[in-house]
A and B are shown apart, each in its own frame.
Chain A
Amino acid sequence: MVGIVLISHSPRIAEGTAELVRHMAGELEVVAVGGDTNGALGTDPERIQSAIESLDTDEVLIFMDLGSAVLSAETVLQMLEPEVTRKVRLVDAPFVEGAFAAGVLASTGAGAEECVAAAAEARTESKLHGQE
């Protein structure tokens, strides 16, 4: 099973995206990590680490919004135990759309590889389907 960690500078973006993914994907382990150590806008590597370690899934996908969310996630990845690092993947995809696509697939039992491909596809997927 694939679990998802959502890292945003904003606690509300992280929580809101998690809410959306959970609603559409049902039984899926999704953890939101938003804001810095004081709950202000920013990122908090220690909470990112606990979020990853809290997931009881075979594989973990991490979605990041911008800048320091990416740097923090990469830094945490190097600090984790190797057996944890092995099951984690950073996903290079749009935050909301990517997490949504991956979440829906993951809820069907798809593996990480397939979920990551769907998330990456969300970058170029048209929303207006050529009607613009």
Chain B
Amino acid sequence: MGAVQATLSMIREMAAAMEEHRKHLTKLDSEIGDGDHGNNMHRGFQAALERLENTNPQTLSDALKAVAMALIGKVGGSAGPLYGTAFLKASTTLSGKEDPAPEDVAEAIEAALSGVKQRGKAEEGDKTMVDALTPAAKAAKEAASSGKSAAGVLRAAAEAANEGAEATVPLTARRGRASYLGARAEGHMDPGAHSAYLLLDAAARSLGA
């Protein structure tokens, strides 16, 4: 399977995950955010899928860029620019790599993380998607250097993201609407951290891991 085709099946898997978990993400977001994360992510990934199917990109980098532009344009909340930037950074990292090695996949996740941190001005511990993506990038790098496949790298990233998302529950938020809630945000999982896990999980599944 070519990299463009693999991107298409990855985005299809991500869009399906956003559809399946739309209500749950919205519920998490209603507790500490503005309650639109599930719908926004669903809409964004539907748009990304449509754009991929309609524009027929020829390279992995262009495919990821098309996804980024759709997310930036269609999500409607902060998640659009944030995930859009993540895909844009990944697309730059994977430019010219039509058969990415496991190390390239790990580097793309690292680039996505740094893009999100820069765009959202968030650090680890702020109760954001950075708390899922930071351990994910670390686990991906370790998996790549221990000889795992690209699918294995994504699986390791997804598992670490899941733990990272769970670990946001006791935190006080320092970014977004939840940051106005002070201690009242404690005891709730960050919806962005959870969606980051769901997306990495879908990416891993699309490669059979």
Q: For residue B96, which residues in chain A have a CB less than 8 angstroms away from its CB?
A: none
Q: How far is the CA of A43 from the CA of B120 in the complex (A)?
A: 15
17 examples of A-B residue contacts, CB within 8 angstroms: A36-B76, A37-B74, A37-B76, A41-B34, A42-B40, A42-B76, A42-B77, A43-B77, A46-B73, A67-B176, A68-B76, A71-B80, A71-B81, A72-B72, A72-B81, A75-B72, A79-B72
Q: For residue A36, which residues in chain B have a CB less than 8 angstroms away from its CB?
A: 76-77
Size of chain A's interface in residues, with CB distance under 8 A?
A: 17
Using CB atoms and an 8 Å cutoff, list the residues of chain B in contact with chain A. Answer: 34, 36, 40, 72-74, 76-78, 80-82, 84-85, 119-120, 176-177
Residue on A nearest B72 in the bound complex, by CB? A45
Other-chain contact of A45, B34, B36, B81, B176 (Cβ < 8 Å): B81
Residue on B nearest A67 in the bound complex, by CB? B78
Q: For residue B85, which residues in chain A have a CB less than 8 angstroms away from its CB?
A: 75
* A68 with B119: CB separation less than 8 A: no
* B80 with A72: CB separation less than 8 A: yes
* B73 with A44: CB separation less than 8 A: yes
Decide if A38 is an interface residue (CB 8 Å cutoff). yes
Residue on B nearest A38 in the bound complex, by CB? B76
Q: For residue A56, which residues in chain B have a CB less than 8 angstroms away from its CB?
A: none
Residue on B nearest A46 in the bound complex, by CB? B73
Q: For residue B81, which residues in chain A have a CB less than 8 angstroms away from its CB?
A: 45, 68, 71-72, 74-75
* A45 with B73: CB separation less than 8 A: yes
Q: For residue B84, which residues in chain A have a CB less than 8 angstroms away from its CB?
A: 75
* B73 with A37: CB separation less than 8 A: yes
Other-chain contact of B177, A42, A44, A67 (Cβ < 8 Å): A67
Q: Using a CB-CB cutoff of 8 Å, which residues 16-60 of chain A contact chain B?
A: 36-38, 40-46
Q: How far is the CA of A71 from the CA of B84 in the complex (A)?
A: 11
Q: How far is the CA of A103 from the CA of B78 in the complex (A)?
A: 27
Distance in angstroms from B65 CB to nearest chain A CB is: 11
Extra contacts besides A37-B74, A68-B80 (7): CB < 8 Å: A37-B76, A42-B76, A43-B77, A44-B73, A44-B76, A45-B80, A67-B177
Q: How far is the CA of A75 from the CA of B77 in the complex (A)?
A: 12
Residue on B nearest A79 in the bound complex, by CB? B72
Q: For residue B119, which residues in chain A have a CB less than 8 angstroms away from its CB?
A: 71, 74-75
Residue on B nearest A72 in the bound complex, by CB? B81
Other-chain contact of A43, B34, B76, B177 (Cβ < 8 Å): B76
| Given A42-B36, A75-B85: A68 and B73 interface contact (C-beta under 8 Å) | no
Q: How far is the CA of A36 from the CA of B80 in the complex (A)?
A: 11
Other-chain contact of B82, A40, A43, A46, A71 (Cβ < 8 Å): A71
Distance in angstroms from B195 CB to nearest chain A CB is: 15
> Among B73, B84, B120, which residue has the most Cβ atoms of chain A within 10 A?
B73
Q: For residue A71, which residues in chain B have a CB less than 8 angstroms away from its CB?
A: 78, 80-82, 119-120
Q: How far is the CA of A42 from the CA of B80 in the complex (A)?
A: 11
Q: How far is the CA of A43 from the CA of B82 in the complex (A)?
A: 13
> Among B74, B80, B120, which residue has the most Cβ atoms of chain A within 10 A?
B80
